[in-house]
Amino acid sequence: MVNAITFNQTHIAKEELEKQFGEKVQHIHKQMVEGTSIGAEFLGWKQLPNEIDQEELNQVLATAEKLRKSADVVVVIGVGGSYLGAKAVQDALSPYFGKNEDNPEVIFAGQNLSGTYMKQLLQHIEGKEVAVIVISKSGTTTEPAIAFRILLEYMENRYGAAMKDRVVAITDKSKGALRELANRSGFTTFVVPDDVGGRFSVLTPVGLLPIAVAGIDILQLLEGAKDAVQEYNSSELSTNSAYQYAALRNHLLNEGYNIEILASFTPNFATFHEWWKQLFGESEGKDGKGIYPASVAYPTDLHSLGQYVQDGRREIFETFVQFKETTADCAIPTTEDNLDGLNYLSDKTMNEINDVTLQATMEAHQDGGVPLIHLTVGKKDAYHIGYIIYFFEMACAMSAYLLGVNPFDQPGVEEYKKNIFRMLEKPGFVEEN
């Protein structure tokens, strides 16, 4: 299927966008294809959906099945790109309440340093059958490493030698402390490819294994991404809407709009916003440049940040994601006395009113001077989520290149780490300068 996503904007005529960015986009596209763009050694994500190794995919599926059978609860440890993609997809595609009886509960750790969180996690898993998936590309990130040390001790005490069948590590093929520990302990392992950075890794085992464990169809996710590869690999700005989105973002930035808000009216899509924020924030926010990626979950946030968006400093543009088909719906009942005055809505469903609220919000914000982008996605299912993941990845790489930065590094993230190591007196740590 092509055109699973439609891209609409009214801020600038297509021809004008083409005039401003058409040639630049073609040039960058060519460099990406030829592997001569800055950071090109991290372009592996571009072909992932097509080139994923079938044998590895079978192993991911088999391992997921094994964990699903042996565990009531699976703890997934990771942070940043080793966490957000899996959680985003799981949240978007899981029921709001309770859990599907066939699926283990999937919970996350290593993305915070709260002792209370960890203590309560340990209490929560007590008495249940547990498995652990630990994910770190570098294998050295402090937050997940601490969580893993604690959970590994728990698993050893609980399962003795048999715990090795309940722990899976996903990390670099040879480097890092986690690789060494996993090899020594005989854990099942999967590799984060060298040419795929953390925030672009959701379609590798990093995302695929935890997503499959949660009972989500990763083949459909990959199928959607595969179709997106076809749609978004044209060098023509006029036909490639991922590049149009990238060009428009840069155009808006040049006009002084330096904050982008991703907005949706679908509560369980909110974690996807977080994935998107890391993708764009780490890719573009460097060398004193960037568009600050923020997000809102409407209509909830219409009653908090809505005021600011409508009326505050005019440096915001907003990107709405709307799903055309919904999973379930609820009718508005009619009442005889109509005391709440809502009978005028009783021929409508909640989703219809949600869609009207989206239209009303877009109109209001546009009138308030907020440039709008509207992405319409066919349905919130694994196929379309795979599709939109790839759409944003392509758009992000192009947008960062148009901005003039390397999309694939994140040198700034090291700064706070140096301070931690100094403050916690890490042995062997010597601060430069």
Ligand X SMILES: O=P(O)(O)OC[C@H]1O[C@H](O)[C@H](O)[C@@H](O)[C@@H]1O
Nearer to ligand X, 108 or 243 (CB): 108
Residue selected from 49, 85, 144, 224 as contacting ligand X according to rule CB under 6 A: 144
Q: Chain-centre distance of CA 86, in angstroms?
A: 7
Q: Considering only the stretches 32-40, 131-139, 153-161, 343-351, report the one whose residues sit in contact with ligand X under the rule CB under 6 A.
A: 131-139
Chosen residue from 26, 103, 138, 376 binding ligand X by CB under 6 A: 138
Round to whole Å and give the CA distance between 271 and 389: 13
Which one of 46, 137, 179, 380 is in contact with ligand X (CB under 6 A)? 137
| Chosen residue from 49, 80, 85, 290 binding ligand X by CB under 6 A | 80
Structure tokens, 71: 């565990």
Closest CB to ligand X among residues 62, 413: 413
Q: Return the residue of 9, 141, 283, 319 that touches ligand X, per CB under 6 A.
A: 141
Quick check: 413 binds ligand X (CB under 6 A)?
A: yes
188 or 410, CB closer to ligand X? Answer: 410
Contact (Cβ atoms closer than 8 angstroms) between residue 132 and residue 155: yes
Among the listed residues 9, 63, 111, 136, the single contact to ligand X using CB under 6 A: 136
Here's the x/- map for ligand X, 354-393, by CB under 6 A: it reads as ----------------------------------------
Angstrom distance (rounded) from CA 22 to CA 58 = 41
- Per the annotation, the verdict on 315 as an active-site residue is no
Which residue's CB atom is positioned nearest to ligand X? 80
Window of 15-23, 79-87, 311-319, 341-349 that interacts with ligand X by CB under 6 A? 79-87
Q: Cβ contacts of residue 418 below 8 Å, gap of 6+?
A: 429, 431
Task: Report the nearest approach of ligand X to the CB of residue 405 (Å).
Answer: 15
Does residue 283 bind ligand X (CB under 6 A)?
A: no
8 backbone dihedrals φ, ψ, rounded to 5° = -130, 140
* 264 touches ligand X by CB under 6 A: no
Catalytic residue among 231, 274, 282, 393: 282
CB nearer to ligand X: pick between 162 and 413: 413
* The binder of ligand X chosen from 49, 81, 290, 371 (CB under 6 A): 81
81 or 290, CB closer to ligand X?
81
Q: Report the residue number, 141 or 240, with the smaller CB distance to ligand X.
A: 141
CA-to-CA separations, 303 to 22, 310, 353, 361, 400, in angstroms, rounded: 40, 11, 17, 12, 33
417 is catalytic: yes
- As a dihedral over the C-alpha atoms of residue 212, residue 215, residue 216, residue 220, rounded to 10 degrees, the angle is 80
Residue numbers at the binding site for ligand X (CB under 6 A): 79-82, 136-138, 141, 144, 198-199, 282, 410, 413
The residues annotated as belonging to the active site are: 282, 417
